Amino acid sequence: MHNMALALHHKGYRVSGSDDEIYEPAKSRLANYHLLPASMGWDASRITPDIDAIILGMHARKENPELIRAQQLGLKIYSFPEFMYEQTRNKKRIVIGGSHGKTSTTAMIMFALQYHGVKFDYLVGSMIEGFETMVGLSEEAQLAVFEGDEYLTSPLDLRPKFHVYQADIGIITGIAWDHINVFPTYENYVHQFEIFIKDLPQSGALIYCADDPEVKRVSENTPCLARRIPYHTPQNHVSEGIAYLDMNGQSIPLKVFGKHNLQNMMAAQFACIEAGISAEQFFESMRHFKGTAKRLELLKETGESIIYRDFAHAPSKLKATIHAARELFPERKLIAVYELHTFSSLNKEFLPQYANSMQEADVRAVLFSKHALEMKKMPMLTENEVADAFGEGVKVFSDKTALHQYLRHQYSGKENMLLMSSGTFDGMPTDF
């Protein structure tokens, strides 16, 4: 939401907003442009008849007094996705959907377009080098690139976000059950992607990962007016810790690695071709692409060790991320650490989905916070229950200090370490 505020400010709008708490870096970024609320909390008197539109954040409750006042005044109320569509309704929209790889694929498309001077609006779920904000809106761009989350639009609109964007070019990177609190069955979750496919226009395209059996099944069996463009893992090799893309007799060195990143790159290539960039131009830009924050992000590197941080939280992404790190340095000992942080990952019924997902690592550790379970009002877990779900050889902790001590003992400075979480490891230090 604060990125939206900054984007609208840069476009020339007069922007104000409210929240009950604002954390860094959002607080400082808003203050820098004089957009920080004078006080925290809700005050219905802030909502006046001269306001052109209200943009509702996902976490605003139906009983929010400012929302109620806006409804009483008959003001135009948009959800975040609705407003993004409204701002780009006359532009070609590329929407990247999938259970994993959305942010990386979106970032690759954005990087390539910017590298070749193509103007575009955008929405992405992570800070990317070369972009001040995670939302960009303009008058002149004729193209928009959106990361298409399948989570709900707002408390007033229970549609998945990526349905609201009304894609012209749709991408599906992977399908693996997620958001169990919203989609209680796998079939219900998959159905959201079927709707996404059916909604694509005849003038558009569906770009899908044909190496993912479920994506292939859904993409090829769901009625679709748009052109279907399948993509596969490209030929590649790894040498001395560097991944190379083998294309047309050339070996292109990359700054990213791993099977999923290479698949994402193929999806981004086809999207950029639809946007008017040639394959040659796209791969020239990819030589310089460094990835995104918290997606196999390099935290520390020495001659004998690398420590990465990754946003992995779904079982399939966990397995793929560990495989990518193992593939890069197959002879080096690998320590994999994961935090159960999302609603799905902390759900006792969902835990068996993680079985054997960490097996490729030499040292395997999992953290969960009992306080987080209490805050989410979820049934308590035991360390034994989590260990049984993950499988043999996984050491489970519910105390961040004990985990940190364990990792300090395991890490001598000659191993690679992978820290995977959509959270912060309950505030555990990561300076090993």
How far is C-alpha 358 from the chain's CA centre?
Answer: 21
- With cut-offs at 50, 70 and 90, classify the pLDDT of residue 199: very high
| Highest mean pLDDT pick, 243-257, 372-386, 397-411 | 397-411
- With cut-offs at 50, 70 and 90, classify the pLDDT of residue 339: very high
Give me the pLDDT at residue 149, please: 87
Mean pLDDT of the chain: 93
Mean pLDDT on 357-385: 93
pLDDT tens-digit profile of 39-88?
Answer: 999 999 999 999 999 999 888 888 999 999 999 999 999 999 999 999 99
pLDDT for 408 beyond 80: yes
Please report where in the chains the tokens 């609201």 appear, as a residue.
164
Query: Hey, CA dihedral for 39, 45, 47, 48, is it positive or negative?
Result: negative
Residues of the chain with pLDDT > 70, as a percent, come to 100
pTM above the 0.85 mark?
Answer: no
Give me the pLDDT at residue 215, please: 97
First-last CA distance in the chain: 33
Within a 10 A sphere around the Cβ of 253, how many other Cβ atoms?
Answer: 11
For residue 429, say if its preceding peptide bond is cis, omega within 30 degrees of 0. no
Q: What is the DSSP letter of 46?
A: G
Give me the pLDDT at residue 68, please: 96
- With cut-offs at 50, 70 and 90, classify the pLDDT of residue 293: low
pLDDT tens-digit profile of 145-181?
Answer: 999 988 888 777 888 999 999 999 999 999 988 777 7
What residues are paired with 122 via a beta bridge? 136, 145
Domains of the chain and CATH, by start: 2-75 (3.40.50), 84-286 (3.40.1190.10), 297-427 (3.90.190.20)
Q: What is the DSSP letter of 430?
A: -
pLDDT for 235 beyond 70: yes
Q: Which amino acid is at 342?
A: T
pLDDT tens-digit profile of 305-325?
Answer: 999 998 877 888 898 889 988
Give me the pLDDT at residue 154, please: 79
Q: Which amino acid is at 426?
A: D
Residues 32, 42 contacting (CB under 8 angstroms)? no
What separation in angstroms does the CA of 110 have from each of 115, 128, 137, 177, 363? 8, 9, 13, 27, 36
Give me the pLDDT at residue 260, please: 86
Please report where in the chains the tokens 């990087």 appear, as a residue.
111
pLDDT for 294 beyond 90: no
Q: Count the residues in the chain.
A: 432
Mean pLDDT on 24-29: 93
